[in-house]
Structure 1
Amino acid sequence: MHFSLRSFQLCSIHLGVALSLCSTAAYAKKDESLEIIEVTAKRQAYRGNFDVLETPEAISEINQQLIENTGVAGLTEALDLSASVSRQNSLGGLWDSFAIRGFFGDENVPSGYLVNGFNAGRGFSGPRDLSGIERVEILKGPKAALYGRGEPGGTINLVTKKPTFEQQGKIALEVGSRDKRRLEADYSGGLTEQAAARVIGYYETGDSFRDTIEINKKGVMASVYFEQSDRSVWQYELEAARQEIPFDRGILAIGGNFDMMPIERFLGEPGDGATVTEVLGHQLQWQYEFSNDWYLNSGLSYRSTRLTGTSSDAEVSPARQKLYYNGRTLTRQRRQRDYDTDQFVIRSEVSGQFDTGSIAHELIVGIDYDLFDYDRDYRVYRSPALSTNPTNEQLHAIDIHQPLYGQHALPTPVPAIVRVQKQFATGLYLQDQMRLTDNLHVRLGGRIDRLKQTLDDKITNFDAEQSETHFSPQAGVVYQLSDSWSLYSSYGEGYRLNFGTDASGQGFKPNETKSAEIGTKFNLLDNNLGVTFAYFDSTQKNIIVADAANPGFHTAIGQASSKGFEFDVTGQLPGDIDMWFSYAYIDAQVDKDAKDTGLGVALKRGDELLNIPKNSASLQISKQFSVADRALTVGVGANYVDERLGQRGSDFYLPSYTVANMFAKYDLTQQFEVKLQVHNLFDRKYFPNSYTQIWVQPGEPRSVDLALSYKF
């Protein structure tokens, strides 16, 4: 990948020119025939054309209004609104990492997600900014029978904002606590009678509540819509972003003492500088309508990412960690990362309807190809063992109570992992949902993948190759009791390729998931309020764990299970009150004795999984009033997260917490809007996730943001 700051600037210049051309074209041709408010794809790949009540699965949708009202700008914060999703190890804030229904993917890489149905979350593009995102779909349960290669507990799909033919735009300026400044612009308009374009850009800078930490990020998204004919539509989308984020492992909470130090204290090294993440992505889609009943949906995507930076963070090995002996001197390791990924995806899908006698069919048949290339250069400095009586300089140490940055020369990391890994997957999938009667639907489907993985280790000159074929089935039943109430049950299997090899050079078997689900969906209050209740029972195997007999290597023997239920309510209550409520009970545990990958501790059957709360809930409500003949919207919300295991193989738990938020927005004129948002309203001290007692992430204290936007 060769996406540099210069290429980002050039891309921004080109998009600026395109924006000017869009504006000129829209100004030059203000024809009544162009009064189209929004362009949307006729249907999404892998999804078909089903009503929510006809789908034998639980789906949550965080729409644009909820995103704007709650004031979340990042994917992780948006997913906090769903009780089914819990935060995981984000590698010091460098990426999005989450578990769905208690299951997470490989903790050493970001959690996967989709953008418009394309795999897009596997690289190192940094935390995803939500500018340019129309809605966030949480598709629960294993989806490998259609999507392939998804995360075990479900799939996140981001749907982007589309161009409009009507000229319209928005500029927003936001200022807030800790010197936050954010500028966002969005412009869309018609180029011709058949083509429209949209450009969205953002720039944000500010300080963290953490000492010495500053954040700088910028990005641009552009899209073009071209209606070739009444039956043929093309869409192209560009994503480019760059973020500078210091690596931050958080605070210490030895023995569960969360008052051991102020949450503002940074224990890294400011001299390491920021870690930089970059992304450049392209998507091209073509939708063709053969008839009123049959469609072709084809597309390709190319996305390159890069992560570079150096960090100093707490050493986890007791044999090297001096803090465990004197209570104030923290041994640190120094690590240098240069991760480079390229991903290419191509797909083609036909969907449509037909009848066989009295049975109506909704058929989806498709083929796709996915190439993921991961070039990793990882270097580490680790101090000598304490038994050798090393100096504080050799320990790269810092005093946790009186930190003095830059006290010693920064040690030079040495190569630990330098390798190129590639994954190839070609899949063929089919799904048929049959309407046997007016009320009874049966869904059958499956996917077969031909998988290949290669590894080239530059340090050991070791090469490995793995190939296999994998089949993922799915089945579901929906019974509609009425037009507004349905019952459903489903079974599905999921999988995800595991990176690397074992000590003998053999590739790992894929991480596999089996899940059964039963639930009900119904609409209330004249279909203004939607309710979903689901019970699920899942198992996961071939989890990567450390190979105790071969230090430095891993083996895929881990096994876990997760079961529980979810209750989601969204829509409008009487009195025009908008509501979002999500609750989940998740019992996730280890099913097979193993050894932890990083900490070298025993995992016993029945142990809880890391960072998975048993109970969690989110409630957001808002109402619009009229003040001086202008709209005033006021809303409040709260997220509750139960206590959860904070370090494997221990009794260290993160405490439960409730965080409240509020917002108010007012239309000053038809064009100007002002919005006030308060996050963590009562300034609660909380800790969303951790990996060990010395890597604990504190939550942000109360922050206040004020935004002024202008629409044209």
Structure 2
Amino acid sequence: YAIDIYDPRYGQPLPPLTIPRNNLERITNTALYAQDQISLSPEWKALLGVRFDFFEQSFRERIPRSQVDQTYFAATPRAGLVYQPLPELALFANVGTSFRPNIGPDAAAVALSGPFAPETGIGYEVGSKIDLFGGALALTATAFRVDRENVLTPDPNNSAFSLAAGAVRSQGFELTAAGQITPEIKLLAGYVYADAVVTRDNVLPVGTPLINVPRHSGSLLAVHEVQAGPWKGLGIGGGVRGVGERAADAADSFVLPAYVAVDALAYYRYENFRFGLNVENVFDTEYYESSLNRFRVYPGAPRRFTGTMTVRF
């Protein structure tokens, strides 16, 4: 109930609960996967694969009493083709389908027509990869498009629940670079442009951006490792990651601001041991990582230190 901040009246009787929840959900998913890579010739290679999913869900709502069961069997094939005219250059293309059940109380108890149908999709990708300087630097460029149906998104008219968007599309390109620039310096960099929007729905307007998907994002990481002398095995590195503005609710009524965060790392290798220290968000930058609606905005992690020790046998 509402309280007038200028004339508050405390001690009022509590209003009745309008959305009581007391539920039990059981989920079983069994999957089998088969894949084969075939060399058609010295320049051509093909990949064929398929995944079989057998999914069972039982959702029981105790208040009010109801029970929803659903069972699905799905086969999701994928195929790829690689053409390598030169040892340093590869051109590739692939296509694959996806299947993911929509589970949880929103999917099973809130939908008027019963549980939401599972999310399905199909994705396409074409690109190229080139190795430079004898394989020391690998550059990859990829264009992609993914079409999905029944994607759960927060309900713009009811912040507590979800709805399944009729169809959504994500398309764009990705650029990556990974290499051992010198024996001491390793570099990893990447950039992604993604345009993710609703393409068909009865509630959300066509063209509405998908929640929490930035149009621009990228990262850069460099590591220096000592190769000789008393400090051999010592590595020090740092990087930066940036994320652009993205829709913060299903109605696209406000956006989460762009942010840039800096990370650092250090490690030391000694025989079979590796001791490491990672520092995320070095400058303790305040940013917002994701959101569901105006009432549920999740801040990013503050400065965080993580220590590790690894032993190899």
TM-score, length of structure 1 as denominator length: 0.38
Q: How many residues align?
A: 307
Task: Find 1:623's aligned residue among 199, 202, 224.
Answer: 224
User: 2:173 aligned with 1:582, yes or no?
Assistant: no
Secondary structure of 2:288 counterpart: coil
CA contact under 8 A between 1:544 and 1:558: conserved in structure 2?
no
CA contact under 8 A between 2:198 and 2:205: conserved in structure 1?
yes
CA contact under 8 A between 2:123 and 2:147: conserved in structure 1?
yes
Task: Find 1:526's aligned residue among 134, 138, 152.
Answer: 134
Please list every run of 5 or more consecutive structure 1 residues that lacks an aligned counterpart in the other structure: 1-319, 330-388, 397-410, 596-602
User: 2:167 aligned with 1:573, yes or no?
Assistant: no
Task: Find 1:686's aligned residue among 287, 294, 297.
Answer: 287
Q: Deviations over 1:382-428 (max 9, x none)?
A: xxxxxxx98456699xxxxxxxxxxxxxx998983323333444555
CA contact under 8 A between 1:488 and 1:518: conserved in structure 2?
yes
Q: Which residue of 1 aligns with 2:241?
A: 639
Q: Which residue of 1 aligns with 2:39?
A: 435
Q: Distance in 2 between matches of 1:571 and 1:491?
A: 28
Q: Distance in 2 between matches of 1:539 and 1:693?
A: 28
CA contact under 8 A between 1:588 and 1:612: conserved in structure 2?
yes
Q: Distance in 1 between matches of 2:209 and 2:10?
A: 37
Letter in 1 for 2:79: A
Secondary structure of 1:607 counterpart: coil
Q: CA deviation at 1:542?
A: 1.3
Letter in 1 for 2:240: A
Greater helix share, structure number: 1
Residues 268-307 of structure 1 aligned to structure 2 (within 5 Å):
none
Secondary structure of 1:585 counterpart: strand
Secondary structure of 1:417 counterpart: coil
| CA spacing shift, 1:392–1:534, aligned 2, 3 Å | farther
Instruction: Name which of structure 1's ranges 470-479 and 679-688 shifts more when overlaid on structure 2.
Output: 679-688
Q: Distance in 1 between matches of 2:245 and 2:155?
A: 30
Q: CA deviation at 1:671?
A: 9.8
Q: Deviations over 1:608-632 (max 9, x none)?
A: 1111111111111011237972234
Q: Which residue of 2 aligns with 1:514?
A: 122
Q: CA deviation at 1:641?
A: 0.9
Q: Deviations over 1:309-331 (max 9, x none)?
A: xxxxxxxxxxx566xx85xx9xx
| CA spacing shift, 1:711–1:604, aligned 2, 3 Å | closer
Q: CA deviation at 1:505?
A: 5.9
Secondary structure of 2:208 counterpart: coil
CA contact under 8 A between 1:521 and 1:532: conserved in structure 2?
yes
Letter in 2 for 1:466: Q
Q: CA deviation at 1:582?
A: 1.8
Q: Deviations over 1:476-500 (max 9, x none)?
A: 2111122332111111110111224
Q: Distance in 2 between matches of 1:513 and 1:556?
A: 14
CA contact under 8 A between 2:153 and 2:164: conserved in structure 1?
yes
Q: Distance in 2 between matches of 1:395 and 1:580?
A: 60
CA contact under 8 A between 1:503 and 1:550: conserved in structure 2?
no
CA root-mean-square deviation: 4.1
Please list every run of 5 or more consecutive structure 2 residues that lacks an aligned counterpart in the other structure: none
Letter in 2 for 1:435: S
| CA spacing shift, 1:699–1:424, aligned 2, 3 Å | closer
| CA spacing shift, 1:562–1:321, aligned 2, 3 Å | farther
Task: Find 2:168's aligned residue among 556, 560, 565.
Answer: 560
Q: Which residue of 1 aligns with 2:251?
A: 649
Secondary structure of 2:22 counterpart: strand
Q: Distance in 2 between matches of 1:648 and 1:550?
A: 11
User: 2:93 aligned with 1:489, yes or no?
Assistant: yes
TM-score, length of structure 2 as denominator length: 0.79
Q: Deviations over 1:223-273 (max 9, x none)?
A: xxxxxxxxxxxxxxxxxxxxxxxxxxxxxxxxxxxxxxxxxxxxxxxxxxx
Letter in 2 for 1:636: G
Q: Deviations over 1:429-483 (max 9, x none)?
A: 5434332222112233334444443333222332333334433222221111223
Q: Which residue of 2 aligns with 1:305?
A: none
User: 2:268 aligned with 1:660, yes or no?
Assistant: no
Q: CA deviation at 1:593?
A: 3.5
Give % identity: 29
